Amino acid sequence: MDAQQTEFPHEFVLDYLALIAQHVPGDITLNQLRILHYIDMRTAQQHGHTSHTEICAALNMSAATVSRAIASFIDAGIVREEADDWDARRRQVRLSEQFSQGHTLDRQIIELARSHFRR
């Protein structure tokens, strides 16, 4: 392997963190970032939303951790929550239109990685 392949991509990491900071106001924990990515992926799918229960199960996180993260995302305008069409007790979570702006965060991260690793 040449030195370039084994070298840690510091510039990419800094750009990645800057991209996250553009989208997520304030400080964000690793768990919050994982939750946001999961909501982003589910919003991008045809299904278009997810639930607290689904996030907890998929990411193996406590209900309290997920609920706190979602509450902070709602306060920041990143996600929105609405009643499930089939069961009003169940809450559905999706990215807000203002946050997603038609482009998923994952798609933007992939484009960032492509630009860095094609050099």
Print pLDDT tens along the chain (119 aa). 444 455 666 777 777 777 777 666 667 787 888 898 888 888 777 567 899 999 999 999 999 999 999 998 898 888 889 887 777 778 899 888 776 665 566 667 777 777 766 65
> Does the pTM of the predicted model rise above 0.95?
no
pLDDT of residue 25: 62
Q: Partners of 93 in the beta sheet?
A: 50, 81
Nearest to 56 by CA among 65, 68, 43: 65
> 3-state SS of the chain?
CCHHHHCCCHHHHHHHHHHHHHHCCCCCCHHHHHHHHHHHHHHHCCCCCEEHHHHHHHHCCCHHHHHHHHHHHHHCCCEEEEECCCCCCCEEEEECHHHHCCCCHHHHHHHHHHHHHCC
Which pair of structure tokens corresponds to residue 106? 């994952």
Delineate the domains of the chain, giving CATH numbers in brackets. 28-117 (1.10.10.10)
Q: What is the pLDDT of residue 100?
A: 62
